[in-house]
Structure 1
Amino acid sequence: MNIGERLREERVRLGYNQAELAAIAGVAKTSQFNYEKGERSPDAAYLAAVAEKGVDVLYVVTGVRQPVNADELSPEAVELLRLAQKIDGSDLAILVRTASAFLNSSPKHN
């Protein structure tokens, strides 16, 4: 997976379309399209802007996700993880799809 593919993955994960993420970063939609297609690479100003909206920039650039520290998680997130560890694989996949659907249907975070 390349930078463009990871950037697209992050955009989708956060529930933005290309025009929305481009506006957040202060670039044209065509630039966003070119970044995701791999025809151009985003600059530091772009990456800093999208990082403020939750894009995991280290992952986009390197393909490596940093683990989240447990003390950064809400009590609800800790409980969800505890329960997820006890759920069988196919049921866990359903839970992940359900959580993704909730994320994609909720208003964008400001």
Structure 2
Amino acid sequence: MNEMGARLRQERKRLGYSQREMGLLGGVAANAQGKYESGERVPKADYLAALASEGLDVLYVLTNQRSAGTAVDTLLKQVAQVDEPDAVFKEVKHAVRHLLLRIEELSSSYVQNGKPVRTLHDRAVDRVSE
């Protein structure tokens, strides 16, 4: 099994689907689903798009990086199962505050007085030339 196939299987299990159900939702047969998960075949974009609307974390399947929405959903499910959710909520509150401050910090490097000072294109060009 390749890494992408393993992540696809993890996502299927996270969502609670059988291979047959996942294949149907993605518009493919159950044996195709099995081949995707084993690494024999690579899923196509229309399959991934169909499953994204069912909650599949496509970013995770393709890159091994969880999307923010899935990460938050997973964390909230874990919080619901914890004996002391107040402590976990404090950690979540701290993490969200940190994230918002970081977003504000990053956005201020692109906009001053309501006018763009740097575009994402400029930043990408900077990174390529480094």
TM-score, with length taken from structure 2: 0.54
Number of positions where the alignment pairs a residue of Structure 1 with one of Structure 2:
80
Paired residue for 2:88, among 81, 85, 91? 85
Distance 1:7 1:14 in 2: 11
1:52-93 CA distances to partner (integer Å, 9 max, x unpaired)? 110000000000012239xx87xxx4xx4781628xxxxxxx
3-state SS of 1:85 partner: helix
Listed as ranges, the gaps of 5+ residues in structure 1 are 87-110
1:28 aligns with 2:29: yes
Aligned-CA RMSD value: 2.7
TM-score, with length taken from structure 1: 0.63
- Runs of 4+ off more than 4 Å: none
- Residue in structure 2 matched with residue 66 of structure 1 by the alignment: 67
Distance 2:17 2:30 in 1: 12
Higher Rg: 2
Structure with greater contact order relative to length (CA < 8 Å, sep ≥ 6): 1
Identity of aligned residues (%): 47
Letter in 2 for 1:10: E
Listed as ranges, the gaps of 5+ residues in structure 2 are 90-130
